[in-house]
Structure 1
Amino acid sequence: MFWVYVAVITVLALLSVLPGPIAALFGAGDPYACDISDSADPPRAGHPFGTDLQGCDIWSNVVYGTRTSLSIGLLTTAFALAVALVVGVLAGYRGGWVDAVLGRITTVFLGFPFILGAIIVLNSVGTRSVLVVSAVLALFSWPAMARLVRSSVRQVRDAEYVQCARAMGLTTGRILRCYVLPNTIGPVLAVATILVGGVIVAESTLTFLGVGLQAPSISWGLQLASAQARFQQYPSMLLFPGLFLSVTVIAIIALGDMVRDALDPRSR
């Protein structure tokens, strides 16, 4: 199953890197090339997934939406992981008042409901681009990982190899870089992999509710939002974006679970 999930994610990565050529293989190729006379057409030659209410090729929109969803998932996770590593390492290694202050800050952010907090912040900003949405989602995603980093660092900071590094006169930065981080990053990377899938769901949910990405951006959430009112008459408009979203999230989260089990056999 590991290789099945890797194969699925590899295909999705190809779709996000080469959306134009891949979309042109089976469909119109241009998600913005719409013909209102083709509104809500069923799947046919040239439009394997049919067209939406504006006459746009659903296949092309789904392919280009893959890039948007994966970009937001990866950017959000990268931002959150960077903050979590800084906060968690400082709190876990220094301890004392540094740990107390950073712990209180982490607790404050943990107190905000994820979706509700993102809705409030996104409603207060102007342009909701991929970068802006990623930054807002990262704002509420880092605390859990920071706590995991802190607990991992506290477990290794007094290990014999770390004490030997201190006795040799190595700088704190080198100790953290060469001895502490390599022995604490494994569980955090597994959680970060799972977070990618959760972020993709969150972005689609926010966009579906009208507080995420805005047109002319292309997103699975935007496709689901535009198709909800006509689902009974034209189910293909909702089916295919929803199918891609589900497969992507399941593959990423399952792969993250397998990575976590590989790094920590006790969690199996």
Structure 2
Amino acid sequence: MRAGGRGRAVLRRVLRRPGALGGLAVLLLLLALAFLGPYVSPWTYTDVDYTALSHPPDAQHWMGTNRIGQDVFAQVVRGLQKSLLIGLLVALFSTVLAAAVGAGAGYFGGWTDRVLMFVVDLMLALPTLLVLVVVTPRLRKWGWLTLVALLALLGWMVTARVVRGMTLSLKERQFVVAARLMGVSPARIIWRHVLPHTASFLITDATIAVGGAVISETGLSYFGLGVQPPDVSLGTLIADATDVALVYPWMFFFPTGLLIAFVLAVNLIGGALRDALDPTTVGRAGPSRTTVPGLSG
């Protein structure tokens, strides 16, 4: 099947799922809010209205104000934008790294496989939370991109192992053996023949990794280890409003609600993509069963 035909078939399968449609609609609304919201709000996230401290939502402040008079809508939009950027970049970098390491280890085998898998095992042995707690404060001066790099470097290993297992199976297929006998370079074989057959797993994994990265960033920012003032993220907004959640609920529930909505939407889309991209999915109605090529018996 041509790539265009396969893409249309996958899109039809995804669109047949009500959960995926709902998740996609919510995700598009959140993206529009994050990147178009600053242009429709009369306030910026750094503006202070000293006449409206801890003011509930009204026509002037659509989501109310916080304890120092900053507009909650402007703050939430900025926080959502920053959290989405971090989540998307972490998922992108970690997936690319996992695909490169896993495919390289599985295809070349031998000492290349042993060295790369040793690195994977070493990274898996590291206490991720402890590393983040120790390293993040020392890299604050470099900005939030250091947080992206750390989360990406600490989140690719399991995916790489799965890609390696899939590659070990794929490299013995006739089309890969034929390409190798024709003198096609290993890099081209991996790019043109191996990675496309792992795309369903990688796309699904990357989609779900976005939600996981946003939750990780939120947790770190909640404890003061992520995005630093004067910038904001959903984590910093939730942390600042936790102690007044019952007194001034708009400060807490708006960022929390958007976080929950985003993670739920991404998980719904990821689940639909998994079923639509996996050619071994059985049935169109009821629960589906999927297998990962190279790992199933």
Scaled by the length of structure 1, what TM-score is found?
0.93
- Separation in structure 1 between the aligned mates of residue 242 and residue 271 of structure 2, nearest angstrom: 32
**Match 1:134 to one of 148, 172, 179:** 148
Secondary structure at the aligned position of 2:201 is classed as helix
Which deviates the most, 110-119 or 246-255? 110-119
Displacement of 1:128: 5.7
d(CA) in 2 for partners of 1:76 and 1:41?
36
CA distance in 1: counterparts of 2:224 and 2:232, whole angstroms: 13
In structure 1, C-alpha distance between the alignment counterparts of 2:27 and 2:36, rounded to whole Å: 14
Equivalent position amino acid for 1:196 in 2: V
Q: Which residue of 1 aligns with 2:118?
A: 104
Alignment of 1:89 with 2:112, yes or no, is no
Output the amino acid matched with 1:239: F
CA distance in 2, matches of 1:256, 1:112: 28
Distance 2:210 2:68 in 1: 31
| Residues 39-50 of structure 1: pairs in structure 2 closer than 5 A | 39-50=53-64
- Matching residue of 1:197: 211
1:221 is the counterpart of 2:253: no
* Superposed structure 1 runs of 4+ greater than 6 Å apart: none
CA distance in 1 between partners of 2:142 and 2:290 (Å): 38
SS of equivalent residue, structure 1 residue 107: helix
Which residue identity is paired with 1:154? L
Q: Percent identity?
A: 35
Q: Distance in 1 between matches of 2:190 and 2:157?
A: 20
> Contact 1:84–1:149 at 8 Å: present in 2 too?
yes
- Partner SS state of residue 122, structure 1: helix
3-state secondary structure, aligned to 2:141: coil
5 Å matches for 1:55-204?
55-127=69-141, 129-204=143-218
Pick 1 or 2: higher relative contact order, CA cutoff 8 A, min separation 6. Answer: 2
Aligned: 1:257 with 2:280: no
Match of 1:16 in 2: 34
Structure 2: how far apart are the matches of 1:116 and 1:237? 30
Residue 247 to residue 128, structure 1, CA distance change in 2 (3 Å): farther
Aligned length: 264
SS of match in other structure, 1:18: helix
Query: Residues 249 and 88 (structure 1 numbering): CA distance in 2 closer, same or farther, change over 3 Å?
Result: same
Shift of 1:90: 1.1
Give SS of 1:253's match: helix
**Residues 114 and 254 of structure 1: CA distance in aligned 2, closer, same or farther (over 3 Å):** farther
Tell which deviates more after alignment, 96-105 or 111-120. 111-120
Conserved 8 A contact 2:61-2:72: yes
What residue is the counterpart of 1:267 in the other structure?
290
Structure 2 unaligned runs (5+)?
Answer: 1-18, 282-288, 292-297
Q: How does 1:235-246 map to 2 (within 5 A)?
A: 235-246=249-260
Q: TM-score, normalised by structure 2?
A: 0.85
**Cα distance in 1, alignment partners of residues 142 and 24 from structure 2:** 31
Is residue 2:227 matched to residue 1:207? no
Cα 1:220–1:128 shift into 2, 3 Å: farther
The CA deviation at 1:16 is 2.9
One-letter code of the match for 2:28? Answer: T
State the alpha-carbon separation in 2 of the partners of residues 257 and 112 from structure 1: 29
